[in-house]
A = this chain, B = another copy of it.
């Protein structure tokens, strides 16, 4: 801890400073800096030079208040650390890039009350739109969203009723589809491994519900299940798989609630020399990039995260002029990626 360069104490610069330095009115400076209205080339050059020389940075707070326009789009997601939301963010950022809108991220940690705070905080900055992960919110959150008077897009789940618009896949249907593929491949003693329920991960829950529905429709039911929470997902997948297979050696398929624990399980099975997918099959969910590097490719189901981000951002940016002004519903079709861990049909 030593002393370095202490920043000089500065009164923050305002339009007036630039205006005085360039000999024109504040209004003209404002016009130059925003490229709005007619300004002569010479004035423009003089103003820009002065602004640059002084190191002027406009005050958007004042600008936003005066113009009643804020170029921000709030994005409320449960977590940054599980690889799935960053990809949605990529889609959002890319789409917003050429619209002058800027995404602002808030993280709710899968907690309803935290989400409520984040939404409140975001709305208090009067953004141009809000993208929220999931359809399940506290009553207060839902009320705020409905009242906000801006486009709201709920993403990554469409099994429910949106406040305004929604974009994503049906997790219930994704679970069903996976179960059908597994059954069709001839597996019968199927177990589930996932995050500890009931968490507030509604999407994982719906997936499992859909999965069990499809099993039931085929006269089957889950043979066993194993849950975890916290820790390294890869390591947990490994442990859970070992535990479960020790308990029920007859199981012939392991359905994981996400790819990370699935990858852990796959590594364990391969180490044990188990015949995958002959003796036992495995499948995860999400289609994370990581899987490409595994010794064998885990069967999974793509959640269309990039597309979801893109479509959500398009709705906010008004790029998707379908005539409808709000309340759009866009469903993507999750694609099964059979990989190498499920028998060929």
Which residues of A pack against B, CB within 8 Å? 1-7, 9-10, 12, 55, 57-62, 64-65, 70, 80-81, 83, 86-87, 89-90, 93, 102, 104-105, 107, 120-121, 123-126, 143-144, 146-150, 152, 161-166, 231-238, 263-264, 267, 271, 289-295, 322, 324-330
Contact = CB atoms under 8 A, between A and B. Distances in A.
Given A1-B324, A232-B289, A61 B57 contact: no
A59 B125 CA distance: 6
Nearest to A52: B140
A163 B1 contact: no
Contacts of A162: 4-5
A290 B234 contact: yes
Nearest to A325: B6
Contacts of A5: 146, 161-164, 327
Contacts of A232: 289-293
Contacts of A87: 81
Given A5-B163, A7-B326, A80 B86 contact: yes
Given A4-B328, A5-B161, A10-B149, 15 more contacts: A1-B329, A1-B330, A3-B327, A4-B162, A7-B148, A9-B149, A55-B147, A61-B61, A62-B65, A80-B86, A81-B83, A234-B290, A234-B292, A234-B294, A235-B292
Nearest to A161: B4
B293 A238 contact: yes
* Of listed A81, A264, A329, residue having the most chain B CB within 10 A: A81
B70 A81 contact: no
Nearest to A327: B4
B70 A152 contact: no
12 contacts: A4-B165, A4-B326, A4-B328, A7-B326, A9-B149, A12-B126, A12-B149, A55-B144, A55-B147, A61-B61, A236-B293, A264-B293
A101 to B, nearest CB: 11
A57 B164 contact: no
Which 7 pairs of residues, A with B, have the shortest CB-CB distance? A234-B293, A4-B327, A235-B293, A232-B292, A235-B292, A10-B149, A60-B124
B327 A152 contact: no
